Chains A and B, each alone.
Chain A
């Protein structure tokens, strides 16, 4: 019906977004009347989300005309922003920002670069930015989960860690069980996504490719590639974190710092 009223893609998209926003706000207001606090946030979140995604769309439209390397500063900016978000999740960790950046550069950055060099991700702006952003966003979540869980484990097992130190263990050894537990826990969502692929959910990138006319089989295979990249990037970033984090929670004299949230 909207197609009869709106004849350009942009005007049609705006109309579709307005209808969806309206329906969401109605549902949120109904929820607010029943006492749900989230109802008050929804209109602002929708507006903010719309403006952000419009800005990205406009930027992409601009970048698409440029050479492939223009996606590098864009992806770097995403990693910097993701680092800030992770730092806010673990403010008690000294050097959380630099750790997050290093881990994501090694994880997301390394995997995106590797896949681009192999030609699995075509080195053009329209591929690098959407696929790269998915890998970075998921890497951010994995990294935040890892650090959050690890600090929780350290706080909960301070006695065991100091007992291990008192027995002559090095800091890395003393926290090794908690690094392992955090590593496993942070990768559970990514592992579940790979396991449930096609059975429980059909992810966005596949839906998008099918909508834009790609073969569903190729779209499915490409979705698998992206999820594989997310899992690999998460694994690499957590491995790097397991080396970097113990240095930050111990003093140079191998004493466990106070970690108050």
Chain B
């Protein structure tokens, strides 16, 4: 049976940085991954394992030293970076909302390529993340959980083909954490969005992941279905 096409693929991905005092430092070594439409990959590992570095490479916020990244079979280097980033949404650990209203934050991404969202479109996105009626609120007045929901809606406004989540619930209290996790899981399933989800929480990994990439010291320890990787 032919393999379904990959949405996102990394081949022997590595990143080394030059440190003036300590010389070259390898942050990521020979990472391979292949994700199909709608698959959720949880990336786990201790601090410093290279999880966030991997995510930054997948959004091209940093450049790999070697290896290849493909989106829908096309090499990242052939795509204009801003255009690529619109297709690969990213939600960071902190929401980093921009000064202004919630509505202006939601409309930010589409506005970057000349698309303006009307009130109904903004409201539909807010409703999707359980924040109806917040469009005119000052973004600076939101709680951590609310801000993270807005940053998710902001990423979704670009209709990304891939969603990168960098520990999106780690800075939240327990109540907000459960709500945001449920919201993300629902969105990913409903939209069949391919997703790379960095997390420290093994329970969360079991609940959301189709595949797990376990990392240590910038290298792959194991990759496979949750039961295979977590119970090994």
| Residues of A close to B81: CB separation below 8 A | 165, 253-255
Closest to A169 in B: B112
* CA–CA, A177 and B85, complex, Å: 21
Q: Which among A162, A165, A166, A255 is the interface contact of B89 at CB below 8 angstroms? A: A166
A167 touches B99 (CB 8 A): no
* CA–CA, A160 and B109, complex, Å: 13
* CA–CA, A160 and B105, complex, Å: 11
Is A164 an interface position by the 8 A CB rule? Answer: yes
| Residues of B close to A16: CB separation below 8 A | none
A167 touches B109 (CB 8 A): yes
Is A67 an interface position by the 8 A CB rule? Answer: no
Is B201 an interface position by the 8 A CB rule? Answer: no
A167 touches B60 (CB 8 A): no
* CA–CA, A162 and B81, complex, Å: 13
A interface size (C-beta, 8 A): 18
| Residues of B close to A160: CB separation below 8 A | 96, 98
Is B137 an interface position by the 8 A CB rule? Answer: no
Closest to B60 in A: A253
A117 to chain B, nearest CB (A): 41
B220 to chain A, nearest CB (A): 24
A162 touches B108 (CB 8 A): no
| Residues of A close to B60: CB separation below 8 A | 253-255
Closest to B84 in A: A168
Per-residue CB contact flags for chain A residues 163-177 toward chain B (1 = under 8 Å, else 0) read: 111111110010001
Known contacts A173-B112, A255-B62; is-contact A168 B82 (Cβ 8 Å): yes
Is B7 an interface position by the 8 A CB rule? Answer: no
| Residues of B close to A119: CB separation below 8 A | none
| Residues of B close to A251: CB separation below 8 A | 63
| Residues of B close to A165: CB separation below 8 A | 61, 81-82, 85
| Residues of A close to B61: CB separation below 8 A | 162, 165-166, 255-256
Q: Which among B83, B96, B99, B113 is the interface contact of A163 at CB below 8 angstroms? A: B96
User: Which of A163, A165, A254 has the most CB atoms of chain B within a 10 A radius of its CB?
Assistant: A163
Closest to B164 in A: A166
| Residues of B close to A177: CB separation below 8 A | 98-99
Is B155 an interface position by the 8 A CB rule? Answer: yes
* CA–CA, A91 and B89, complex, Å: 34
Is B169 an interface position by the 8 A CB rule? Answer: no
A167 touches B158 (CB 8 A): yes
* CA–CA, A72 and B90, complex, Å: 53
Is B92 an interface position by the 8 A CB rule? Answer: yes
A159 touches B94 (CB 8 A): yes
* CA–CA, A170 and B112, complex, Å: 8
* CA–CA, A116 and B158, complex, Å: 53
| Residues of B close to A164: CB separation below 8 A | 98, 108
A166 touches B99 (CB 8 A): no
B86 touches A253 (CB 8 A): no
B108 touches A166 (CB 8 A): no
Known contacts A173-B112, A255-B61, A255-B62; is-contact A168 B83 (Cβ 8 Å): yes
Q: Which among A167, A253, A255, A256 is the interface contact of B108 at CB below 8 angstroms? A: A167
Known contacts A251-B63, A254-B82, A255-B63; is-contact A168 B109 (Cβ 8 Å): yes
Closest to A173 in B: B112
Closest to B98 in A: A160
B86 touches A167 (CB 8 A): yes
Known contacts A170-B112, A254-B81, A255-B62; is-contact A163 B92 (Cβ 8 Å): yes
* CA–CA, A164 and B155, complex, Å: 10
Chain A, 117-169, CB within 8 A of any chain B CB: 159-160, 162-169
Top 4 A-B residue pairs of the complex, sorted by shortest distance between their CB atoms: A168-B86, A167-B109, A166-B90, A163-B96
Report 20 cross-chain contacts, Cβ distance below 8 Å, ordered by A residue: A159-B94, A160-B98, A162-B96, A163-B98, A165-B82, A165-B85, A166-B61, A166-B85, A166-B155, A167-B89, A167-B112, A168-B82, A168-B85, A168-B86, A169-B112, A170-B82, A177-B98, A177-B99, A255-B61, A255-B63
Q: Which residues of B contact A (CB under 8 A)?
A: 59-63, 81-83, 85-86, 89-90, 92, 94, 96, 98-99, 108-109, 112-113, 151, 154-155, 158
Q: Which residues of A contact B (CB under 8 A)?
A: 159-160, 162-170, 173, 177, 251, 253-256
